[in-house]
Structure 1
Amino acid sequence: MRITEVETFLVPPRWLFLKLSTDEGVVGWGEPVVEGRAETVRAAVHELSELLVGEDPLRIEDHWQKLYRGGFYRGGPVLSSVLAGYDQALWDIAGKVRGAPVHELLGGPVRDRLRVYTWVGGDEPDAIADAVAAQVAAGFTAVKMNANGRLRAIDTLAAARAVLRRAEEARAALGDDRDLAIDFHGRVSPAMARRLLAMLADVAPMFVEEPVLPEHLHLVGGLVNGSTVPLATGERLYSRWDFRAPLAAGVAVAQPDPSHAGGISEVRRIAALAEVHGATLAPHCPLGPIALAASLQLGFAVPNFLIQEQSLRMHYHRDGDLLDYLVDPSPFDFTDGHAARPLAPGLGVEIDEAAVRRAAELGHAWRNPVWRHDDGGLAEW
């Protein structure tokens, strides 16, 4: 079997899909994208296709090494996302060839169902209690919310109390038997992170995500030591080497994205590294159906898996959603806040290629917002 063609599709709301075709008719799908830079990733996908076309798709690890180490310059969001999309597609092909879901190829399932969480609110959430109650009624046992919108490096007591008030409203709606995750989204300075983590301790978040920017991860050990709140990070880290320092500093939850951090192969290695440090895995995945399918396959194979993010009907999805590109949406039917173990071969989802091609005719040019403070200075989004 040989890879014969690489195709890419820009599809709404903000995704990039990759299709690998073979001379035996087996195809694999991947989702390589950097949100807001999909065209850049697309160019790199086709640039690196010369390393794969004509090759045996079943040599997954050899291809991973070649795509990662074959260039003098390596890593970073663009190249690691390209590698991730190819890796997902190769595992999809391998599972289809062998008639097994990917998690079976990774050693078999270590659980029977997989816990997922859902989002409430937006970047500056309000009406939190009603939004949380709706998700509880839908059966979810955990929700995540952004803690805040624009926040100055050292903001007012009123701004800090607004974060606490929203978290308290969410906790009250959830009760003590469900979990609340809070995302700082890298919008919080190290100084404000220390203040907010102390204030949020009694709300008992499952974790606080991206407590500081990736550029400030050398400070995360101090945050770990100064708070009882479990800290999570990783959506803007792209390899096991990037995770080494924050895990050693005591981060409790690793959040690599299977569409950014080298795909299924590398996220599995990151999970093993996290296990060494007593940390758990909660893959980042506010993306499309292929990325989520890859995440679920990992979750069923990784012993130290904690919970899975998913983006059904997420507030970013105004022009499309996950189910729009599936022949059968049932793999993403969540019952009591859990996903069932996928049994179909490969990634476990059948992509509706006709729908993908129609959507790609429209494409997208999604960009993240550029925020400014009231004084005109740039704010972190």
Structure 2
Amino acid sequence: MKIARIETFLVPPRWLFVRVETDAGVVGWGEATCEGRSETVRTAVDQLAELLIGQDPLRIEDHWQVMTKGSFYRGGPILGSAVAGLDQALWDIAGRHFGAPVHQLLGGPVRERIRVYGWVGGDEPDEVAEAIAAQVEAGLTAVKMNASGRMSANGSAAELDGVVRRVAAAREVLGPERDVAVDFHGRFTLATARRAASLLADLHPFFLEEPVVPENSHLIGRIAESTAIPIATGERLYSRQEFLPVLQAGIAVAQPDLSHAGGITEVRKIAALAETFDVQLAPHCPLGPIALAACLQVGFATPNHLIQEQSIGIHYNRGADVLDYVVDTRPLAFVDGSIERLTGPGLGIEVDEAAVRDADRRGHAWRGPIWRHDDGSFAEW
């Protein structure tokens, strides 16, 4: 069996799908989305395809090594996302070839269901309670929200009060039995993040995510040491080497993105490294159905997996949603706030190829917003 063709599909709302076809007729799908840069990743996938066409698709580890190290210049979100999409597709092919779900190839299941959470905004505080109520109605037992909208460099009393009011509103709807994770989204300085964490402690956040931008990961230990709230980070870290310093600094939750951090192959290794630091895995995934399925496959085979993000109904999904590109939505259904173990071969979902090809004709040009402070300077989104 040899790899015969590799295609990419830029589909709404903001995703990039990868299709790998073999000469034996086995097809695998991956997701190489890099939000706001997917067109660039598409070019990277085309370049990496030169390394794969004509090769045995089952040599996944060797392909990962060559794709990530075959050029003198390595790393980063563009290459990482391109590798991730292809890696997911190769694992999908392997599972279909052997007639088993990917998690079976990774050593077999360690759990029968994976708890999931939904994203509920938070940029606008008035929307929080209603959005959370809708997620609870959908059967979820955990949500994640932004701590704030635009945040000034030294967080004012009013801004910090707004952070507390948002999370308090969430806690009131959720009660003590359900969880709310709070995403600082890299919008806070170190000092402001520490102040906010102290004010939120009594509301018991599930975790505080990305309290500083990843460029300042060397500072994250100072936040971890100053609060009992679990600290999470990792959606903008792309390798074991980039995760090692934050693990050493004392984070509690690692959040690699399977569409950015080298796919299933690398995230499995990140999870194993995290386990040696008593750190839980909660993969980042505000993306499409293929990325979600890949995350779930890793989660079913990973002992230190905590919870899974998913984006069904997220506000980014304008023009299409996660379930629009799968033939059968039942494998991704919520059951008591969880998704039951996927039993189909490969990634465990069937991609609606006709819908994907049709959507690619429309394409997308999604971009993240550019925010500015009142004085006109750039503000972190």
Q: TM-score range by the shorter chain?
A: over 0.9
1:73 equivalent in structure 2? 73
TM-superposed deviation, 1:175: 0.9
CA contact (8 A) 1:232 1:252 kept: yes
Distance verdict in 2 for CA 1:125–1:26, change over 3 Å: farther
CA contact (8 A) 1:151 1:187 kept: yes
TM-superposed deviation, 1:129: 2.1
1:248 equivalent in structure 2? 248
2:257 equivalent in structure 1? 257
1:87 equivalent in structure 2? 87
1:197 equivalent in structure 2? 197
The whole-number CA distance in structure 2 between the counterparts of 1:31 and 1:139 is: 26
Equivalent AA in structure 2 for residue 287 of structure 1: L
1:380 and 2:373 correspond: no
* Runs (4+) off by over 4 Å: none
CA contact (8 A) 1:122 1:315 kept: no
TM-superposed deviation, 1:69: 1.1
CA contact (8 A) 1:125 1:146 kept: no
1:339 equivalent in structure 2? 339
TM-superposed deviation, 1:133: 2.2
The whole-number CA distance in structure 2 between the counterparts of 1:202 and 1:365 is: 42
- Normalising by the residue count of structure 1, what TM-score does the alignment of the two structures yield? 0.99
TM-superposed deviation, 1:122: 4.8
Q: In structure 1, the residue corresponding to 2:261 is in which secondary structure?
A: coil
Equivalent AA in structure 1 for residue 360 of structure 2: A
1:58 equivalent in structure 2? 58
Trace 1:1-381 onto structure 2 (pairs within 5 A).
Answer: 1-381=1-381
1:192-224 CA distance string (max 9 Å, x none)? 101100001111111000010001111111111
Number of aligned residue pairs: give it: 381
- Normalising by the residue count of structure 2, what TM-score does the alignment of the two structures yield? 0.99
Q: In structure 2, the residue corresponding to 1:366 is in which secondary structure?
A: coil
Q: In structure 2, the residue corresponding to 1:145 is in which secondary structure?
A: strand
Q: In structure 1, the residue corresponding to 2:200 is in which secondary structure?
A: helix
CA contact (8 A) 1:274 1:281 kept: yes
The whole-number CA distance in structure 1 between the counterparts of 2:131 and 2:49 is: 44
Equivalent AA in structure 2 for residue 56 of structure 1: D
1:161-218 CA distance string (max 9 Å, x none)? 0000110110111111111100001111111101100001111111000010001111
1:81-128 CA distance string (max 9 Å, x none)? 111111100000000000000000000000011100011135334232
The whole-number CA distance in structure 2 between the counterparts of 1:260 and 1:337 is: 26
The whole-number CA distance in structure 1 between the counterparts of 2:213 and 2:368 is: 17
The whole-number CA distance in structure 2 between the counterparts of 1:130 and 1:14 is: 25
TM-superposed deviation, 1:34: 1.1
CA contact (8 A) 2:101 2:297 kept: yes
1:271-292 CA distance string (max 9 Å, x none)? 0011000000000000011000
The whole-number CA distance in structure 2 between the counterparts of 1:146 and 1:42 is: 30
The whole-number CA distance in structure 2 between the counterparts of 1:339 and 1:290 is: 15
TM-superposed deviation, 1:135: 1.8
TM-superposed deviation, 1:359: 0.3
The whole-number CA distance in structure 1 between the counterparts of 2:277 and 2:69 is: 26
Equivalent AA in structure 2 for residue 132 of structure 1: I
The whole-number CA distance in structure 1 between the counterparts of 2:131 and 2:286 is: 18
Equivalent AA in structure 2 for residue 23 of structure 1: D
1:31-66 CA distance string (max 9 Å, x none)? 112100111000010011110000000000010111
The whole-number CA distance in structure 1 between the counterparts of 2:136 and 2:342 is: 24
Deviates further, 275-284 or 170-179: 170-179
The whole-number CA distance in structure 2 between the counterparts of 1:186 and 1:23 is: 45
State the superposition RMSD in angstroms.
0.8
Q: In structure 2, the residue corresponding to 1:30 is in which secondary structure?
A: strand
